[in-house]
Amino acid sequence: MLDDMGDAAGTGLLLVEDDRELSGLLVRLFEGQGYAVQAVRDVQSGLHAALTGVHAVMVVDRRLPDGDGVDLVSRLRRQGVTTPVLVLTAHGTVRDRVEGLDGGADDYLVKPFDSAELLARVRSLLRRHLDDGAVVLPLGAARLDTTTNLVTVPGRAPVELSPAEAAFLAQLARRPTRVFSRDELRDSLAPGTRSLSLVDTYVYGIRRKLGREVVRTVRGVGYRAGELGEA
């Protein structure tokens, strides 16, 4: 993903920043380094983008018009999104940094900052995330890599899932003989959410990308892991 010069060609980056001028500057900065940038301006848009898109790293402002960027990170962590996050803030007190890290952020950078330092911090997060080592889970002959969110099937091109979809499928794959109820899956991946439709959305998205056999429906009970390819 990253070469020795820090080339990030094709690497997905989610930017959550409400200041239009700063957002524009950061988009140009990151795109100039080869990142594929998706920019949004509030917590709700950031939550939706992170759960439905595919990103290798996130840069999140602390103060957003509809809430705290750290709260956004905390909600994503509770839903199984492990994408590394750098939080930007105008406040550099120890308490602020601790709150950000405790909330699930991987790094913290105080405004105003040097663009070279920001890029270096992001590269460091990506390398650290890759160096943690991939967790590869079997799905029959297929394999789910929870670091890259890629599913590889013999004889087919790799399929990239969103972080939320990968977390959902990983939960099934880790206990392949168990049937999970929709309530269990919802409570595990989205604590505090009452609607079960989120579970159905994940199942639909995964099946659309990989086929119906990857998630099996057990009528009246819930879902279990399926298999892809020839086991």
Q: Are strands 12-16 and 57-61 parallel, antiparallel or unpaired?
A: parallel
**What number of other Cβ atoms are within 10 A of residue 119's Cβ?**
17
In terms of residues, how long is the chain?
231
| Domains of the chain by start residue, with CATH | 12-131 (3.40.50.2300), 136-225 (1.10.10.10)
| pTM of the complete model | 0.61
* CB-CB neighbours of 192 under 10 Å: 9
Per-residue pLDDT of 70-97, as tens digits, reads 999 999 888 777 788 999 988 767 777 7
Distance CA 54, CA 73 (A): 16
Q: Which tens digit of pLDDT belongs to each residue from 138-158?
A: 888 888 988 788 999 888 889
Average pLDDT of the segment spanning 206-213:
92
Give the up-direction half-sphere exposure of residue 143: CA atoms within 13 A in the CB hemisphere: 10
> What angle (nearest 5°) sits at the alpha carbon of residue 161, between those of residues 227 and 209?
60
Report residue 124 CA to chain centroid gap: 17
Are 226 and 216 within 8 A, CB to CB? yes
Rounded to an integer, what is the distance from CA 110 to the centroid of its chain?
Answer: 23
